[in-house]
Amino acid sequence: MNTREKKKQQTRRAFFNAVLDLCMTGQSFSSISLRQVTREVGVVPTAFYRHFDDMEDLGKSLVEEELGQALAVLRESLQIGRQRSFDRQIAKSIQIFFKAINEHPRYWQFIVSERFGGSEAVRRAVNEQIKLLSNIIGEDLALQPAFSHINAYDRRLLAEAGVNLFFSWIIDWLDLNYNEHHDDEANRRDIEYHKKRMLHHCTRQAQMLFYGAYNWKSSEETLLDD
């Protein structure tokens, strides 16, 4: 990659970072203006169009390029369904999930906020990434003997339920990690206690879901029958 291409990529990433920073302040993507983003980046509005067609294109590109990479790393790291030699597979998977949130809090804040947000292009892009994550976990479940009696359709449904469960924890976990009283020693101990408590509760919820699936009996009628 030559110097010009590197500069272009740096500016493109600066636009992504500006959106993520604004969303971390509580703004929704659909409420962010083009001028607001260019002001954050420090360029004139006309420079925006050298990189994106419009704000929808910026949001879609952010999801596919930046957030998509973060989810790809998570897909590779998660242990649910994989054949492993160690115990406590579900608990370790949840620890990996929360670690991923800690490493890229802005990404996860954006994903959970815009999954049902006002921008159709961003909403579709986010849901495509989540669908890909669910599909891969569904395929991984087939590697576990405990799920061999469940057909592929039901394994995919189980994976979708698991992903939805995991994503329901994101905001609460972010709130614990970005508590405004984090600097106070007593409050810090209290926050750590609540994080351990949440980790325990989330692990139990996931265990109930996946252990319960061991007793599920798949039928041949997958589309019409409940």
**Average pLDDT taken over every residue of the chain:** 88
Closest CA to 97 of 197, 168, 20: 168
What does the domain layout of the chain look like in residue ranges? 53-213
Q: Are 29 and 118 in contact (CB under 8 A)?
A: yes
Q: Report helix, strand or coil for 182.
A: coil
Picking from 206, 210, 179, the residue whose alpha carbon sits closest to that of residue 192 is: 179
CA distance to 110, 176, 185, 189, 190, per residue, from 194 (Å)? 24, 8, 14, 9, 6
pTM as predicted = 0.86
Which percentage of the chain shows pLDDT scores above 90?
Answer: 62
Count, residues in the chain: 226
pLDDT in tens, 61-107: 999 999 988 888 888 887 666 655 445 788 889 999 999 999 999 99
Q: Among the CATH numbers 3.30.1300.10, 1.10.357.10, 1.10.10.10, 3.10.310.30, which is that of 53-213?
A: 1.10.357.10
Whole-number pLDDT of residue 86: 42
Rounded to an integer, the average pLDDT of 16-42 is 95
pLDDT at position 85 is: 46
Q: How far apart are CA 133 and CA 136, in angstroms?
A: 5
163-196 tens-digit pLDDT: 999 999 999 999 998 865 556 777 888 889 999 9
Token digits of residue 151:
């057909």
Q: Is the pLDDT of residue 5 over 70?
A: yes
